[in-house]
Structures are given as structure tokens and as C-alpha cells.
A and B are shown apart, each in its own frame.
Chain A
Amino acid sequence: MHNKVILLVEDNPDDETLTLRALSKSKILNEIVVARDGAEALDYLFGTGIHAGRDTLIQPQLILLDLKLPKVDGLEVLKRLRADHRTALLPVTILTTSNEERDVVTSYQLGVNSYVRKPVDSDSFIEAVRQLGLYWLVLNTAPPTGF
């Protein structure tokens, strides 16, 4: 259970803190790797840049991906990881502020598994994170690694 990593891609430190708090409050004890922009997320996934040398056979069990990110935005990250065989099957949930229709449509077109809008009401937010963790880490059968 502990080797199942969650990759949180989030540039806003407040949101990062709140998300981490929500995860811990939901008793999700997995290792959480935080990437603060899209480029860093791709570096982690493909073992490049600051994550050079990382064993890319080990991939996160869930990626929580914000859309509005510096350098490489969330949709681009999604496109790139879906295009690479090492990451093509990874469960990705968009966790973002926007619910613009075109973002939702584009995300699904690019092969996202789930799209969750962060509610302003933090009770709802904690509940949403709890359900996400429960679903993707417990209920859902993850794709086999190494494909």
C-alpha cells in the first residue's frame, strides 16, 4: 500500500496544503509526490530533469492534475503522458477550479479518467478528496505496471 504513490500536480501552495490536509483527514496514507508545475510532473513521470535516474517502472497509482499550471499546462501534461507507453494507462483525475465546458470536453478527449471541480466550500472539498481516494486507491483495479 505504501509503495502506491499519488502524484499531485498543483502550483498553488494553499491548494497543495488544503489537498494534503484533505487527504490526511481522509486517512489516505500513501506517499504523495507533489509537482509544482507541468514540466516537473513530466520529469517525475519520465525520469528526467530533477527526477533523472528515477525508476520509471514505478509509476503513481493516481495522478491528481490541476489544469492551470506554469510552464506546461495540465492538458499538455495529460496529452504527453497518454502518448507515452509507460504512462498511457495511468489513472488521471483532473482536480481543478475551472469547470469550463471546453476544458471538460478537451480533458475527456485526451483520455482523462475523471474530472472533479474543486468546490469553494471546504467541507465539500474534503468529501470530494475522500471519495476520490476511496475510489481510485481502494475500489478501482489499477492497470498492471510495466505496460
Chain B
Amino acid sequence: MRKWLGKFSPLGWRLVATTVAFSTVVALLATAFQLYLDYRRDLGTIESTLDQVGHSYLPTIGNALWATNRKELQVALDGLARLPDVRHVAVMENDKIWAQAGQPKTQNIRSRDYPLNQVHRGETMTIGSLKVVMDMAGVYQRLLDKFWVILITNGVKTFLVAGFMLWFFHWLVTRHLQRIAEFAARLNPGNLHEQLTLDRPLHAHDQLDEFDLVLDGLTRMQSNLASAVQTLEQDIVKLERAEAEIHQLNSALEQRVVERTAQLEAVNHELEAFSYSVSHDLRTPLRSIDGFSQALIEDYGERLDPVGHDYLNRVRRAAQRMGLLIDDLLRLARITRADMKQVHVDLSTMALEVIEDLHKHKGYSEAPFRVQASLAAYGDPALLRIVMVNLLDNALKYSSKIAQPQIEVGSVVQDGRTVYFVRDNGAGFDMAYVGKLFGAFQRLHRAEEFPGTGVGLATVKRIVHRHGGEIWAEGQPNAGAMFSFTLSN
């Protein structure tokens, strides 16, 4: 029973309970009204019976009383007492019962007194009264019976209707709702194309109800979801593909980095071996050339004429120059592969130290110089020192032949960048050849004029580039030169 009842939804029970309660109240009100009407009708019947008594029986009873015909009077009263609902009739004369019929009763009654008049010698005189007592018990009993009948009928009817409603509501609505709920709960991206059908009788298209709307909405929702899922799936596929591509590219890139690194390392290794070989093997014969030339001059000098001496000296100078060239070349190569350690560098102090060193070791004549205080730079101190050595060596060298040399080291800010410069007022150069200035082994002056290998500025340029900076030169023949450079920070 409970299980069977459980089939019906709480919604059905609620609907039935509400309907039963409401219909019971309405039925009770209607019954009460009907009973009231019945009561009024019965009361009307009693009143009309009483009226009827006044019309039909009074004259007979009056005459019988006047004639003191007790027998006739009794017959009339008995007849009266047999009328429906008449309980007791009595003829009174001066409050004394003269004759009566039926049983007296004092409760649930309705009574009326009629005067009994007699016309005697043209004069109307009251000779007594008739009291008719109507019994109301019958009326009340009928009402009660009717009440019970209506109550039981209504109760049975309500119970049947409620049961039917419960079943019908289940059949019409709740079982479908349950199916829809189950279907919706089962719905997932894998079965979006499943179609929900409800076990309902076929109905015409113009008789579509709310369930058709729900089914239609559900179908539309499924198709929207399906297209959303499809879009998502496509996106995921695209994402996965992109990810795979990135992964592939990354590994290819890593592979290439590994390969390139290995190649670079190999090249670097070769370069090192080459440098080592150059520094060792190329210099050894030079030493022999110079050494034996010197030995010739020293040990066999007396057998040579001045021209022979001159030739041997030329051989020695050439050998020594080649030694310098090799050293410079090696230095240039080393700068390319040297490890950089970038720190804050006080370029002013460095410049002063370099100038002092150059004066001491290269024997340049003392030139007045001006170094801007606190020139801050960020870079590799060893490499920056090479820059300062080369630039200041050039400045001192090319201004060594003028009367009043002037060297200046400083900086200016251009376009937000700090530009460092080294300026002299020496030999200068023709701007037409400025392009050749920073090339390796490129010189704008003859070695007899100003010695040098032509590697210094190439080295400087390489260092500046390794720092992410730029270098340029401005000059004028016999009016000096200015070398300017930037560093990345």
C-alpha cells in the first residue's frame, strides 16, 4: 500500500489534499444552506396547516361548543389531531380544558390559539378558545436524517474523486515529470542526441500542451548543448594540437640549441687550438729570425759593411713587428670569446691609471689632460680597460708631435644615453676615411709616422659591441680626433 502510494508524487498528494479540503468546506456550506431551506419549507407547511385549521375547523368546533354537543366536538377534535404533525388540540373555556385530543407536550412545539366566536342576537361573543399544538420533532428528525445522508454521500463522493484525481494527476503529469527528471539527470556530453519520449496518447498538433513545450525546450537545449560541446571539443583539439606543436617546436628548438651549442663549442675549441697554435708556432720562427740576425750582428758584425748591418736590422724590425701583429691579433681573438663579468666601473679612475701607465711605459711626453670626475660605467672592467688603453694610447700617440697637446676624457647625455668620449687635439684624420678606422690592420698613418699595428680600434669596437654599445669617431686633419662610445646601460 505504502509502495503503491509512493508511486504518487508529493505534488499529487498536495493537490488532492487541497482539493478535498476545499470541496469539503464548499459541500458543508451547501449542505447547511440546503438544510436551512428544508427547515424553512417544513416550517411553512406547519404554518399552512395551522391556517388551514383556522378556516376549516373553527366554525364546526365553535358550533359544537355553542351547542354543547360534546360528542360532535370530540369527533372534530379527533379529526384535527390526525392531521400531520398535530400533537395536541384542546378547547379551552376560561382556562379550563373542555375537550381535547392527542398528547400534550411542552418542548419542541409550535402552538396557536384561536378564539371561538359565536354571533348571538347580532352580537359577536367569544365563547372559548381552541389551542392547537404542532409537534416540531418530526421536522428536526427529517433534517437530521437529511444531514446524515448528505454527509455520507459527500464523503464517499469526495473520497472517490480524490482517488481518481490522484491517479489521474499521476497519469497526466507526475509520471512524466519523473521521467523528465531522470532523463535530465542522465544527460551528459556523450548522450546529448538521445530523444526523450513520454508515454502519452497521440494528440493533434493544435492540442499541444505544456509537456510538448517542455519536450521542445529540452530538445532545443540538447542541441544547443551539443553544439557548445562540439565547439569546445574542437577548441580542445585545436589547443591540444597547438600544444603538441609548441612541444615539438620546443624540443626541436632545444635540439637545435644543443646542436648549435655543440657546434659553437667545437668552433670555439678549434679557435682556441688555432690561437694556441698561432701564438706558439708562428712566433717560434720569428724568434729564430730575430735571434740569429742579432747573433750575426753581434758575432759577425765586423765582417759586414753598413748596408749589411742595415739589412739585418730591417730583418729584425720586420720580425719584431710581425711578433707584435701576432700578439695583437691574438688579443683581438681572445676578446671575442672572453667571458664577460659586468659590474659598475669608475671610468675616471681607470682613465687616470691608464694615462699614468702609458706615460711610464710608452715614454710619451707629458701632456696636459682633463678627466671628468666620477664617470660611471657598467661593463667588464678588464675589457673596458683595454678600451681606455687603446683610446688613450692613440690620443697620446697622435698628439705627441704637436706643441701643446690636450687630452680630454668625459661624457655627455644624448637621447637618454650616456656617451663617453676621448678627445685629443693631435694629428686627427680625414673624415673621408672614417670607415676604415675600425677595421683590423687598417691604418690611416704610416708606421714610420706613428707606429701601430692597426688592431687597436678594431679591438675597441669589438669590446663596445660586446657591451651592446656603439662607437664612432669624428676628426679633422691636424685638428684632433674625438672617439665616442656608448654601453648598453
Chain A residue numbers with a CB within 8 Å of B276 are 98, 100
Minimum Cβ distance to chain A for residue B375 (Å): 29
Chain B residue numbers with a CB within 8 Å of A121 are 290, 316, 320, 323
Q: Indicate if the CB atoms of B283 and A100 lie closer than 8 Å.
A: no
Whether A86 is near chain B, meaning CB under 8 Å from some CB there, is no
Whether A113 is near chain B, meaning CB under 8 Å from some CB there, is no
**Nearest residue, chain A, Cβ from B320:** A121
Q: Indicate if the CB atoms of B279 and A98 lie closer than 8 Å.
A: yes
Chain B residue numbers with a CB within 8 Å of A97 are 279-281, 283-284, 287
For B285, B287, B294, B319, the residue with the greatest tally of chain A CB atoms inside 10 Å of its CB is B287
Whether A120 is near chain B, meaning CB under 8 Å from some CB there, is yes
Chain A residue numbers with a CB within 8 Å of B283 are 97, 118, 120
State in angstroms the CA–CA spacing of A120 and B290 once bound together.
7
For B275, B285, B295, the residue with the greatest tally of chain A CB atoms inside 10 Å of its CB is B295
The digit string for B252-283, where 1 denotes a CB below 8 A from any CB of A, is 00000000000000000000000110011101
Minimum Cβ distance to chain A for residue B61 (Å): 163
State in angstroms the CA–CA spacing of A121 and B322 once bound together.
11
Whether A27 is near chain B, meaning CB under 8 Å from some CB there, is no
**How many A-B Cβ pairs are below 8 Å?**
59
Chain B residue numbers with a CB within 8 Å of A100 are 275-276, 279
Minimum Cβ distance to chain A for residue B56 (Å): 158
Chain B residue numbers with a CB within 8 Å of A120 are 283, 286-287, 290, 319-320, 322-323
State in angstroms the CA–CA spacing of A18 and B323 once bound together.
17
Q: Indicate if the CB atoms of A122 and B280 lie closer than 8 Å.
A: no
**Nearest residue, chain A, Cβ from B279:** A98
**Nearest residue, chain B, Cβ from A21:** B295
The digit string for A97-127, where 1 denotes a CB below 8 A from any CB of B, is 1111000000000000000001111110100
Chain B residue numbers with a CB within 8 Å of A15 are 284, 287-288
The digit string for A5-22, where 1 denotes a CB below 8 A from any CB of B, is 000000010110010010
State in angstroms the CA–CA spacing of A56 and B276 once bound together.
35
Minimum Cβ distance to chain B for residue A21 (Å): 6
State in angstroms the CA–CA spacing of A98 and B279 once bound together.
6
Q: Indicate if the CB atoms of A18 and B292 lie closer than 8 Å.
A: yes
State in angstroms the CA–CA spacing of A21 and B319 once bound together.
19
**Nearest residue, chain A, Cβ from B286:** A120
The digit string for B290-323, where 1 denotes a CB below 8 A from any CB of A, is 1111110000000000000000000010011011
Minimum Cβ distance to chain A for residue B334 (Å): 8
Interface members, chain B 305-359 (any A CB < 8 Å): 316, 319-320, 322-323
Chain A residue numbers with a CB within 8 Å of B287 are 14-15, 18, 97, 118-120, 122, 125
Chain B residue numbers with a CB within 8 Å of A122 are 287, 290-291, 293-295, 316
Minimum Cβ distance to chain A for residue B270 (Å): 15
How many chain A residues sit at the interface, stated as a range, is 10 to 19
Whether A4 is near chain B, meaning CB under 8 Å from some CB there, is no
Q: Indicate if the CB atoms of B279 and A14 lie closer than 8 Å.
A: no
State in angstroms the CA–CA spacing of A98 and B334 once bound together.
14
Chain A residue numbers with a CB within 8 Å of B285 are 14
Whether A51 is near chain B, meaning CB under 8 Å from some CB there, is no
Q: Indicate if the CB atoms of A125 and B291 lie closer than 8 Å.
A: yes
Minimum Cβ distance to chain A for residue B291 (Å): 4
Minimum Cβ distance to chain A for residue B13 (Å): 97
**Nearest residue, chain B, Cβ from A118:** B287
**Nearest residue, chain A, Cβ from B288:** A14
Whether A130 is near chain B, meaning CB under 8 Å from some CB there, is no
Q: Indicate if the CB atoms of B292 and A14 lie closer than 8 Å.
A: yes
**Nearest residue, chain A, Cβ from B278:** A98
Which of B275, B281, B291 touches A18 (beta carbons < 8 Å)?
B291
Minimum Cβ distance to chain B for residue A15 (Å): 7
**Nearest residue, chain A, Cβ from B334:** A101
Chain B residue numbers with a CB within 8 Å of A79 are none
**Nearest residue, chain A, Cβ from B338:** A101
**Nearest residue, chain B, Cβ from A120:** B323
State in angstroms the CA–CA spacing of A55 and B41 once bound together.
165
Minimum Cβ distance to chain A for residue B300 (Å): 13
Q: Indicate if the CB atoms of A68 and B280 lie closer than 8 Å.
A: yes
Minimum Cβ distance to chain B for residue A13 (Å): 9
Q: Indicate if the CB atoms of A99 and B279 lie closer than 8 Å.
A: yes
Minimum Cβ distance to chain A for residue B231 (Å): 63
Interface members, chain A 51-95 (any B CB < 8 Å): 68
State in angstroms the CA–CA spacing of A99 and B295 once bound together.
25
Q: Which B residues are within 8 Å of any A CB, using their own CB?
A: 275-276, 279-281, 283-288, 290-295, 316, 319-320, 322-323
Q: 20 A–B contact pairs at CB < 8 A?
A: A12-B288, A14-B284, A14-B287, A14-B291, A18-B287, A18-B288, A18-B295, A21-B291, A97-B279, A97-B284, A100-B276, A100-B279, A119-B287, A120-B283, A120-B287, A120-B320, A120-B322, A122-B293, A122-B294, A123-B294
Known: A100-B276, A120-B319, A125-B291. 15 other contacts (CB 8 A): A14-B287, A14-B288, A14-B291, A14-B292, A18-B288, A18-B292, A18-B295, A120-B283, A120-B287, A120-B290, A120-B323, A121-B290, A121-B320, A122-B290, A122-B293
What 3 A-B pairs have minimum CB-CB distances, sorted nearest first? Answer: A120-B323, A14-B288, A122-B291
